[in-house]
């Protein structure tokens, strides 16, 4: 038994040593790749790609919020190369199921978490924190010559499912309906299909890029179209009509107030749900989304609606903390037996004062939490000397010419004296 005990103890020690070795190796970042060094006049431009992310955040469904989050995630990963954001599309139900069952770090949804979903998460030991980050709304455009000022959701459904084909059916002239839509899969297309058609297909409709929809509606006698409210040009506001929930309800048009108060029926808010108040890498990501000069600006640029300042501050208060130490890179420059080191927090570097007239080699390493990776494959360039530089090639000719001139004069003097 004593022998067996020693054997088990030895086995456990070996296992612990293996785990320690794995942990240590996992803590060391891998070296950057795809390095390129190019000479531009008397400067050297260097760029590279990190081959890993020290933190991977999985954010599950829904597809609607995916379209709003994707450009923000791209910008965030450029600023934070040590963090990768993985976005997966689907439905709101899918988002909360994946998160509750531990397959994602964040649930993204086009609505708040409901009581049933919250209860299911709590039974799994999660502490749901719902953070609103933005919204989207679709404006409905009608050719102004039709005289249509508003439609109910039911009338809108009839027009886009094909059961209403003439404007006289909704109080307009006896003119055929012409449906004008955005490209399939775009945010406005998805919202109308989800909230108006309840997932059913559209009737016959032409498809256009977002920027072309207003002109198409204005140029067609019986046209009706739709567009993300945030992409509406000011010269198309005369075509925007009100939408009411019921036939005799009060029609509203989209704006920041009606969208965030839920008064406008063709709108929805975006939410990120985390386990407890987010901190660390997740906190840094959500803080970026809520930053008025970063994530909120990107939302607006893509046709979505940023949070009102009061809502943004409220959402930001739910972020417990952010990462204090991001990835940095060491750029090593070596030539003729000397080596210099530079530090940058981006994936590019400009050597504004490289040595001239020699081959220069650059290597890059990644540093995370004090751990430095191996260096990248070397990049060697030759930086030519400036033309006319007295310290460069040919500078030795000036004193040489002077010496030759003096010698010539001396020879002439001697020749004269001999005569």
pLDDT tens digits for 272-318? 999 999 998 999 999 999 999 999 999 999 999 999 999 999 999 99
- The mean-pLDDT minimum among 20-24, 205-209, 384-388, 403-407 falls in 20-24
> What is the pLDDT at residue 285?
96
Average pLDDT over residues 363-388: 87
pLDDT of residue 398: 36
Task: Express as a percent the part of the chain with pLDDT over 90.
Answer: 71
Tell me: pLDDT of 4 over 60.
no
User: What ranges do the domains of the chain cover?
Assistant: 136-260
Q: Are 376 and 33 in contact (CB under 8 A)?
A: yes
pLDDT of residue 417: 52
The model's confidence at residue 16, banded by pLDDT at 50, 70 and 90, is: very low
Please indicate, yes or no, whether the overall pTM of this predicted structure exceeds 0.85: no
Average pLDDT over residues 358-375: 90
Encode pLDDT of 234-269 as tens digits.
999 999 999 999 989 999 999 999 999 999 999 999
The per-residue pLDDT for range 70-116, each reduced to its tens digit, is: 999 999 998 887 789 999 888 999 999 999 999 999 999 999 999 99
Write out the CATH class of domain 136-260.
alpha beta
pLDDT per position as a tens digit, 303-361: 999 999 999 999 999 999 887 556 789 999 999 999 999 999 888 999 999 999 999 99
How much is the pLDDT for 66? 84
């Amino acid at each position: 038994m004593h022998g067996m005990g020693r054997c088990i103890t030895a086995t456990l020690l070996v296992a612990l040593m293996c785990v320690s070795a794995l942990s240590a190796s996992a803590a060391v970042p891998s070296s950057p790749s795809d390095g390129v060094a190019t000479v531009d006049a008397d400067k050297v431009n260097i760029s590279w790609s990190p081959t890993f992310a020290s933190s991977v955040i999985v954010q599950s469904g829904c597809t609607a919020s995916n379209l709003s989050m994707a450009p923000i995630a791209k910008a965030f990963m450029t600023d934070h190369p040590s963090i990768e954001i993985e976005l997966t599309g689907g439905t709101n139900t899918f988002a909360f199921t994946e998160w509750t069952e531990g397959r994602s770090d964040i649930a993204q949804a086009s609505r708040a978490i409901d009581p049933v979903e919250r209860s299911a998460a709590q039974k799994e030991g999660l502490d749901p924190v719902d953070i609103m980050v933005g919204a989207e709304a679709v404006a409905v455009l009608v050719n102004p010559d039709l005289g249509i000022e508003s439609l109910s959701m039911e009338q809108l459904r009839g027009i886009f499912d094909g059961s209403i084909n003439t404007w006289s059916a909704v109080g307009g002239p006896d003119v055929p309906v012409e449906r004008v839509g955005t490209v399939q899969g775009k945010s406005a297309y998805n919202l109308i299909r989800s909230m108006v058609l309840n997932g059913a297909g559209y009737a016959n409709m032409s498809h256009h890029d977002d920027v072309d929809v207003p002109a198409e509606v204005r140029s067609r006698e019986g046209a009706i179209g739709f567009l993300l409210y945030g992409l509406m040009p000011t010269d198309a506001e005369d075509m925007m009509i009100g939408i009411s929930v019921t036939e005799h309800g009060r029609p509203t048009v989209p704006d920041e107030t009606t969208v965030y108060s839920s008064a406008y029926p063709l709108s929805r808010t975006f939410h990120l749900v985390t386990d407890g108040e987010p901190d660390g890498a997740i906190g840094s990501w959500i803080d970026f989304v809520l930053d008025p000069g970063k994530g909120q600006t990107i939302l607006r640029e893509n046709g979505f609606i940023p949070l009102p300042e009061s809502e943004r501050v409220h959402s930001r208060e739910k972020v417990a903390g952010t990462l204090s130490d991001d990835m940095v890179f060491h750029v090593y420059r070596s030539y003729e037996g000397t080596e210099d080191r530079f530090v940058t927090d981006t994936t590019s570097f400009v050597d504004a004062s490289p040595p001239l007239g020699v081959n220069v080699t650059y290597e890059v390493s990644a540093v995370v939490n004090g751990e430095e990776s191996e260096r990248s494959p070397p990049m060697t360039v030759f930086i030519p000397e400036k033309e006319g530089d007295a310290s460069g090639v040919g500078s030795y000719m000036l004193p040489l010419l002077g010496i030759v001139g003096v010698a010539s004069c001396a020879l002439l003097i001697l020749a004269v004296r001999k005569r």
